[in-house]
Each structure stands twice: as C-alpha cells, then as structure tokens.
Amino acid sequence: MSFPLGYTGPLSGIVLGIVFGYVLENAGFGSGCKLTAQLRLKDWAVFKVMFTAIIVASGGLYLMQGLGLVNVARDMFVPSVFIWGSALGGVGIGAGMAIGGYCPGTSLVALFSGKLDGLIFFLGIGLGTLVFNGFSASIESWAWKQVGPDSLTVPQLLHMPVWAVWGLLFAILVGVGYLTRTNQASPAASMSRKASGMTATQHS
C-alpha cells in the first residue's frame, strides 16, 4: 500500500505540498526573520516545528512497519553518507539559509505569500543550481570519495532498537521545548501590571 490516497504520482505530491505549505505559513516560516532568529538562538519555533515533523514521520513509519504496511528493506532506499560531499553541501545550504533567511521550501512559501525576497531567493536557487551543474563534474570524484556509514539507518548506526531512538528524539524535543519555553502573560495582564506599577509609583 502507498500513501497518501494509495497513489504516489503527482496528485499525492500536490496534496502534500499544499498541506506542508499551509503548515509552514501558519507557523510563520514565510518570513525570513524566523529562520535567522533560529540561527541566532533567539526563536526556537523552526527547530520545534521541524523536529516535531521528524517525530511524527518517524513514529508513523515505525507504526506502519509494525502493521506490515511498509517494508523498509523493500520499499525504501537508504543512501550512504558521502562525508566530503555532505560537508560541502551542508556549508553551502547553511550559508544560504543564514544570509537569505530561507531554505528552498520556505522560499516558495514566502513567494506564494507575496513576498519579494522569497522570489529573489528562489531565483538565486535556480541560478546557483545552474552554476553548480557547470563545475560539479570536476569535484565529483572528490565529493564521492570518502564514504561514511553505508546505507545504515540511525538505529542501525547506534545499535539501538527503533523505539529507543524514537524515544530519545522525543525526549530531545520535550527538553528543548521546556528549556526554551516563554512565561509571557497575556497582553491584558501585562498592561494591568504596568498600570499597577505606575499607580504605586505615583502614590509613593
């Protein structure tokens, strides 16, 4: 069985894309300020939303495996880790996200939200892709040379059961949520406290 809608063609991609874009926009990811605030460790919304998505997806996959709906060995491809290529790609996309404030997905959300910087960022992705394709052949042997873990999932790499890895990820999410929680009261209560403080000052 394939999900969603029992179909893996363009229709499922469109449906999931619309839902994903809607979630990102409502989470505020259509603004470049959101991502840069995460990189400055000022706003943890990006981490919480994306890590929650990882938890839900991995938990759903684990459940479907248990129900016999998915066979990882048969239905899924687990790529090997190419250390130098991954490092180069990580630095490149990390720099782009820090400078532009978007990742490829959120740039499209910003674009369809009517933001000009989203359009400029998306055009930059296209131009960067063309430039990279021009010299990718010259670095291919270097980027693919150092191979890391060969087609291993995280539980296999850590020699831990799947449920334990999922539990660890969930604990990280809860821990970050607790440590970055905000204890802000409602605006009305805040205004009331300020007014009370001003009154007390005037009486004194």
Cβ contacts of 172 within 8 Å, gap of 6 or more: 51
Contact 146, 83 (CB under 8 A): yes
CB of 4 closer than 8 Å to CB of 16? yes
CA 74 to chain centroid: 26
- pLDDT for 187 equals 44
- Which residues, 6+ apart, have CB-to-CB distance to 47 below 8 Å? 38, 176
Mean pLDDT of all residues in the chain? 80
Q: Assign 197 a pLDDT band (cuts: 50, 70, 90).
A: low
pLDDT > 70: percent of the chain: 85
What pLDDT sits at residue 174?
A: 92
Q: At 101, is the pLDDT very low, low, confident or very high (cuts 50, 70, 90)?
A: confident
Q: b/e per residue, 173-195, with b = 16+ CB within 10 A?
A: beeeeeeeeeeeeeeeeeeeeee
Mean pLDDT, residues 137-149 = 81
- Whole-model pTM: value is 0.66
Alpha-helical (H) ranges within the chain are 10-26, 32-39, 45-66, 72-75, 83-100, 104-112, 116-143, 154-158, 162-179, 187-203
Environment class of residue 153 by beta-carbon count within 10 Å: exposed (0-12), middle (13-18) or buried (19+)?
middle
Strand, helix or coil for residue 204: coil
Domain boundaries, given as residue ranges, for the chain: 79-151
* Alpha carbons 177 and 51: distance in angstroms, whole number: 11
What's the rounded mean pLDDT across residues 194-202? 50
Helix axes 45-66, 162-179, angle to 10 degrees: 160
* Tens digits of residue pLDDT in 13-55: 788 888 888 888 887 888 888 888 888 888 888 888 888 888 9
Q: Quick one: pLDDT at residue 185?
A: 41
Residue 189 pLDDT level (bands cut at 50, 70, 90) = very low
